[in-house]
Amino acid sequence: MSQGLKYKLFDLATSTGLCLGCGLLAMNISVGRSIASQFDLPPAPISDIPDIPISPSPIPDQPLPPIYAQDINEQTNIRVYEIASPAVVSIQSGRGNGSGTIIDPKGLVLTSAHVVRTAQKVTVRLLDDRQFDGQVIASSRDPDLALIRLDRVTEPLPHVELISSANDIKVGQRAFAIGNPFGRFAGTLTTGIVSRLDRDRHLIQTDAAINPGNSGGPLLNSRGQLIGVNSAIFTARGNEGSIGLGFAIAADPVKDFVAAALSGQIGIDRSFKPPINLALNGRASRAALTASDETLPDGSFYKAFTFNGTSGQKVNLQMRSNEIDSYMILLDGEGNKIAEDDDGGSGNDASITLTLPKDGNYVVYANTYDVGEIGNFTISAQPLNINPNRSIPPSFPNSNTPRNSASAFSPAPNVILQRRGILGPGSRVLARDGSLFEAFSFEGIAGQVVEITLASEDFRPYLVLFSPQKQVIEQNSGITADRQNAAITLELPQTGTYGIVANTYDQSGRGEYVLTVKSLQ
């Protein structure tokens, strides 16, 4: 199902899991409201309004009010930020980061469970740069919440009050999100409205911009009270930022979780499963999504895989299944989303091809487009340029020592070199375009006329001939109508060792080939 949009928890600033957060969009929806209606004050009777004398004399100079608060909406924005921002914290859990809210002056911090995951200790930083160590005292996967107790709190901390009941939340009321988007912009405020209430799943939908890096941050009302915990965004494929659909866990399950945690009814959920190692060799690994797997906030199941990559390396990830609608999410080691895909492969298969931005571990979430899908699938990670800084050909093997899958067989008398091989897993990769190749060499004599052919029934071949100085002499991408054969015929300019690259025309080429070099005189 290729809809291009999916309600997902995409925080990419958490550990091997996902975490999300608040963004950078500001919206102003209180247009045309009077001050009286804003504060539910009755209008003053006409008789109560005093006469204002009109004087022809000049008005004496008076200091102007600050221009930063020009209307009631701006005053509300400023008031909410000043009330709540000192209590919004950044959380570092070892392998990622997220946001949280101090809800008790003694140092209780509310956040998302996937921010802390299996960590027992975290580091918490306030907006004023004070830093505390914290102990995770409770966490739950459903709802996705965690509670942290700060160590060595010697004085009351700023904190945010929780709204008394989710029934007090109304569609259309203003909503404010504060947090640390992308793990880099602590104390960011965005504004919007409550767009929808999902009473069944206890979720608040808002158009206040929510971006990666702020899972666990607060969603607030105009009084600076916490009405929800930011948890998810609805995102377009390939877009890791906000598109105006954010979600927060509503106040009632939040209050129930806090009460149960403080009474000892909820401990620490250690059931988060570590990612499965995924070999970067193009070979498909079999797996299955089951009802016991971890879930995203939309209820869809996922399995996490991990591989190690290098900066500049081009890779292709494939998730294939005949039983489920595949959906993949790629994160770096810090939990930042790199890419995602629904139907980039054939049918309902997912495929991601990209150049890795840095060295380190990467995490792949094998997921489904629809909620509740379970079934078998395969997943693979294929390097498309093993060493992005390598030029071709770095070296040519001796013609008598075939490399990898290439094998020699008995040639005709005038055949100088003949190799049968397979371009596939284990082949070298051309950094320029990700196509596979193998390199060979032969001894030639000045003035000798040779014919070099590269034939394949599986892919369109590309043939390159190099001089003894490793300079390109000639290249060919096919001589037949179906482009299944490439050939070069020429008189060798000098005596020495020549290099040949048996290559595919593009990165999709895979299969068997026969390379032949023969003398025509």
**Range among 125-139, 429-443, 453-467 with highest mean pLDDT value:** 125-139
Looking at the structure, do residues 376 and 287 belong to the same domain, yes or no? yes
SS3 182: helix
Over range 455-464, report the average pLDDT: 88
Q: Which of 27-36, 148-157, 238-247, 464-473 has the lowest mean pLDDT?
A: 27-36
Who contacts 53 (Cβ-Cβ below 8 Å, separation ≥6)? none
**When comparing pLDDT for 253 and 40, which is higher?**
253
> What sign does the dihedral 24-150-79-192 (CA atoms) show?
positive
Q: Return the percentage of the chain with pLDDT > 70, whole number.
A: 73
Whole-number pLDDT of residue 78: 95
Is residue 432 left, alpha or beta, with left meaning phi > 0 and alpha meaning psi from -120 to 50?
Answer: alpha
**Range among 104-108, 481-485, 498-502 with highest mean pLDDT value:** 104-108
Q: List active site positions.
A: 114, 144, 215
Domain limits for position 503: 407-519
Specify the residue for token string 């993949």. Answer: 328
Whole-number pLDDT of residue 402: 43
Whole-number pLDDT of residue 296: 66
Specify the residue for token string 């340029």. Answer: 385
Q: Are 207 and 27 in contact (CB under 8 A)?
A: yes
Distance CA 160, CA 217 (A): 11
Strand pairing report for 203-206 and 246-250: antiparallel
**When comparing pLDDT for 16 and 386, which is higher?**
386
**56 lies in a domain?**
no
**34 lies in a domain?**
no
Over range 400-426, report the average pLDDT: 67
Looking at the structure, do residues 263 and 326 belong to the same domain, yes or no? no
Looking at the structure, do residues 240 and 179 belong to the same domain, yes or no? yes
**95 lies in a domain?**
yes
- What CATH number does residue 313 fall under? 2.60.120.380
Looking at the structure, do residues 310 and 432 belong to the same domain, yes or no? no
SS3 191: strand
When the pLDDT of each residue in the chain is averaged and rounded to a whole number, the result is 78
Whole-number pLDDT of residue 169: 95
Distance CA 343, CA 324 (A): 12
Query: Could you tell me the pLDDT band of residue 22, with boundaries at 50, 70 and 90?
Result: very low
Looking at the structure, do residues 313 and 256 belong to the same domain, yes or no? no
Query: Could you tell me the pLDDT band of residue 423, with boundaries at 50, 70 and 90?
Result: confident
- What CATH number does residue 202 fall under? 2.40.10.120
Looking at the structure, do residues 334 and 466 belong to the same domain, yes or no? no
Specify the number of domains making up the chain.
3
Looking at the structure, do residues 143 and 250 belong to the same domain, yes or no? yes
Q: Where are the beta strands (DSSP E) in 160-313?
A: 174-179, 188-198, 203-206, 218-220, 226-236, 246-250, 276-277, 285-289, 294-295, 301-309
Over range 255-273, report the average pLDDT: 80
Whole-number pLDDT of residue 45: 44
Q: pLDDT tens-digit profile of 239-263? A: 444 455 788 999 999 999 999 999 8
**64 lies in a domain?**
no
Please, where are the H alpha helices in 85-220? Answer: 113-116
Query: Could you tell me the pLDDT band of residue 275, with boundaries at 50, 70 and 90?
Result: confident
Could you please report the per-residue DSSP string of 201-218?
A: TTEEEE-S---TT-TT-E
Q: Which of 64-78, 92-106, 183-197, 336-350 has the lowest mean pLDDT?
A: 64-78
Looking at the structure, do residues 453 and 352 belong to the same domain, yes or no? no
Whole-number pLDDT of residue 122: 93
Distance CA 358, CA 347 (A): 31
**245 lies in a domain?**
yes
Looking at the structure, do residues 257 and 282 belong to the same domain, yes or no? no
Over range 375-379, report the average pLDDT: 94
**41 lies in a domain?**
no
**When comparing pLDDT for 242 and 283, which is higher?**
283
Distance CA 115, CA 92 (A): 8
Query: Could you tell me the pLDDT band of residue 483, with boundaries at 50, 70 and 90?
Result: low
Looking at the structure, do residues 112 and 215 belong to the same domain, yes or no? yes
Looking at the structure, do residues 78 and 158 belong to the same domain, yes or no? yes
**Range among 88-97, 196-205, 337-346 with highest mean pLDDT value:** 196-205
**Maximum C-alpha span of the chain:** 118
pTM confidence score: 0.48
**125 lies in a domain?**
yes
- Taking the alpha carbons at both ends of the chain, their separation in whole angstroms is 61
Q: Are 321 and 288 in contact (CB under 8 A)?
A: no
Looking at the structure, do residues 332 and 421 belong to the same domain, yes or no? no
Whole-number pLDDT of residue 351: 92
Query: Could you tell me the pLDDT band of residue 357, with boundaries at 50, 70 and 90?
Result: confident
**400 lies in a domain?**
no
**Range among 21-35, 216-230, 329-343, 475-489 with highest mean pLDDT value:** 216-230
SS3 321: coil
